[in-house]
C-alpha cells in the first residue's frame, strides 16, 4: 500500500475535488440555496480571487491529515462520501477561502500595493479597491458558512470544532495578528525569535490549522493529535523560510508574484537575518522535525503528509 504511493497522483485527485467544490460553493447558485442571492458583481470578484490559481497547499494538508487519521482510507483513493469526508472537503475549502481573502486584502494599495498575483492582475486592480475589500470580507464569512451546513450534512459538534480551529488561526492571535506584526516591522531589525513569532502567526497558524482541521474530521488519539500539531508547526515555519529564500533566488515569472519584494520594502526575512545558506539549512532542519513528528504519531498512513512536507521545502514557487 505504501510502497507505490504516487504523490503527484494523490495531489491531482484531491486538487480536482477542491477545485470542483470551490467552483460550486463560491457561486451565486450556492448563495441562493442559502436564502438570498449574492450580488453578481461581488461574486465575480470572489471567484476571481479563489478559482483557477494557487497551489492549494492548505486544502491538501487538510486531506492528508484527514487521511492519516482515517484508518479505512488508502493513500491513492478518494475517501467514501461519509459525513467525515464531507466535513474534510468543507474544511479544505474553508481554509483556502481564508487564505484567498488574506491575499486579496494583503495586495491592496493600503497594504502591500501589489499588482500581480499568480500571474494575474490582483483583485483590486481588476475590480477596484472597494470591491476587493468587500470580496475579502465576504470570503472570510463564506469560510464559516461552509463549515456550518445543516446538521444532517455534518454533525454539529464537528462543525463547532472546525469553526473554533479556523477562527483562532485566522484572527488576532493568528493570521491577522501576524500581518499586523509584519506591518509594524518594516524597516525594523527583528531578532530571530521575533521573526519566528511573526511567521508563526502570519503563515504558520493557518497551515497548522489546516492539519488540525483535517485531523478533527476523523478520530485522532491524543498522541496523534499532538504529533500532527508539531508537524503543522514545523512545516508552517518551513514554508515561510522557503518563501524568504525564493524571494531572493527566484524571478517574478517563476513565482507568479513580484520577486525581491521583501528586500525592496526592507522587510526582515530569514535570509536577511541568517544568510541564504543558513536559511536553507534551517528549512531542512524543520523538514526533519516534521518527519520526526509523523514517526512519533503512531499513525500508519502518513505518506501524503510526508510528501507535502517535501513539497513545501523543495518548491520553486
- Contacts with its own copies, residue ranges (CB under 8 A): 31, 34-39, 41-43, 46, 101-102, 105, 108-111, 128-134, 136-138, 140-142, 144-145, 147-149, 151, 156-157, 159-161, 163-164, 166-168, 170-174, 176-177, 179-181, 183-184, 200-201, 205
33 or 251: CB nearest its own copies: 33
The closest alpha carbon to 159, from 243, 110, 86, belongs to 86
132 or 217: CB nearest its own copies: 132
To its own copies, the closest distance from the beta carbon of 30 in angstroms equals 9
178 or 307: CB nearest its own copies: 178
What are 37's three cell numbers? Answer: 442571492
H helix or E strand, kind and range, residue 18: helix 7-25
To its own copies, the closest distance from the beta carbon of 3 in angstroms equals 39
To its own copies, the closest distance from the beta carbon of 4 in angstroms equals 40
How many Å is the Cα radius of gyration of the chain?
A: 19
To its own copies, the closest distance from the beta carbon of 289 in angstroms equals 19
61 or 132: CB nearest its own copies: 132
- Give the helix ranges, DSSP H, for 171-302: 175-185, 192-199, 205-216, 222-249, 252-255, 261-264, 270-274, 276-297
157 or 316: CB nearest its own copies: 157
To its own copies, the closest distance from the beta carbon of 166 in angstroms equals 7
157-160 long-range contacts (CB < 8 A, ≥24 apart) are 158/83, 158/84, 158/87, 158/216, 158/217, 159/87
Cα–Cα distance, 259 to 248 (Å, whole number): 7
Q: What is the DSSP letter of 275?
A: -
To its own copies, the closest distance from the beta carbon of 101 in angstroms equals 8
Cα–Cα distance, 210 to 169 (Å, whole number): 9
Question: Residues near 28 by Cβ (< 8 Å), separated by ≥ 6?
Answer: 37, 38, 40, 43
The DSSP secondary structure of 41-83, one letter per residue, reads HHHHHHHHHHSS-S--HHHHHHHHHHHHH-TT--TTSPPPS-H
Length of the chain as a residue count: 317
116 or 133: CB nearest its own copies: 133
15 or 133: CB nearest its own copies: 133
To its own copies, the closest distance from the beta carbon of 157 in angstroms equals 4
Amino acid at each position: 500500500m505504501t510502497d507505490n504511493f504516487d504523490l503527484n497522483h494523490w495531489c491531482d485527485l484531491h486538487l480536482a475535488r477542491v477545485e470542483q467544490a470551490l467552483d460550486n460553493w463560491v457561486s451565486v447558485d450556492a448563495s441562493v440555496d442559502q436564502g438570498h442571492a449574492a450580488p453578481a458583481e461581488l461574486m465575480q470578484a470572489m471567484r476571481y480571487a479563489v478559482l483557477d490559481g494557487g497551489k492549494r497547499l492548505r486544502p491538501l494538508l487538510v486531506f492528508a491529515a484527514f487521511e492519516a487519521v482515517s484508518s479505512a482510507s488508502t493513500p491513492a483513493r478518494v475517501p467514501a462520501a461519509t459525513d467525515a469526508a464531507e466535513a474534510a472537503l468543507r474544511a479544505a475549502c474553508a481554509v483556502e477561502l481564508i487564505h484567498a481573502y488574506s491575499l486579496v486584502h494583503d495586495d491592496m494599495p493600503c497594504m502591500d500595493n501589489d499588482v500581480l498575483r499568480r500571474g494575474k492582475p490582483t483583485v483590486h486592480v481588476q475590480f477596484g479597491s472597494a470591491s476587493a475589500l468587500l470580496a475579502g470580507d465576504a470570503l472570510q464569512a463564506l469560510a464559516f458558512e461552509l463549515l456550518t451546513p445543516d446538521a444532517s450534512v455534518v454533525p454539529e459538534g464537528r462543525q463547532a470544532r472546525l469553526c473554533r480551529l479556523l477562527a483562532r488561526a485566522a484572527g488576532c492571535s493568528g493570521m491577522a495578528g501576524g500581518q499586523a506584526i509584519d506591518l509594524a516591522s518594516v524597516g525594523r531589525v527583528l531578532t530571530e525569535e521575533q521573526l519566528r513569532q511573526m511567521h508563526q502567526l502570519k503563515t504558520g497558524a493557518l497551515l497548522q490549522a489546516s492539519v488540525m482541521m483535517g485531523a478533527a474530521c476523523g478520530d485522532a488519539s491524543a498522541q496523534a493529535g499532538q504529533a500532527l500539531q508539531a508537524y503543522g508547526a514545523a512545516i508552517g515555519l518551513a514554508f515561510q523560510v522557503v518563501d524568504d529564500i525564493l524571494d531572493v533566488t527566484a524571478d517574478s515569472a517563476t513565482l507568479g508574484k513580484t520577486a525581491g519584494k521583501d528586500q525592496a520594502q526592507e522587510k526582515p526575512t530569514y535570509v536577511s537575518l541568517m544568510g541564504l545558506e543558513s536559511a536553507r539549512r534551517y528549512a531542512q532542519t524543520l523538514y526533519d522535525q516534521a518527519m520526526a513528528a509523523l514517526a512519533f504519531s503512531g499513525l500508519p498512513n502518513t505518506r501524503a503528509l510526508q510528501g507535502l512536507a517535501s513539497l513545501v521545502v523543495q518548491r520553486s514557487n
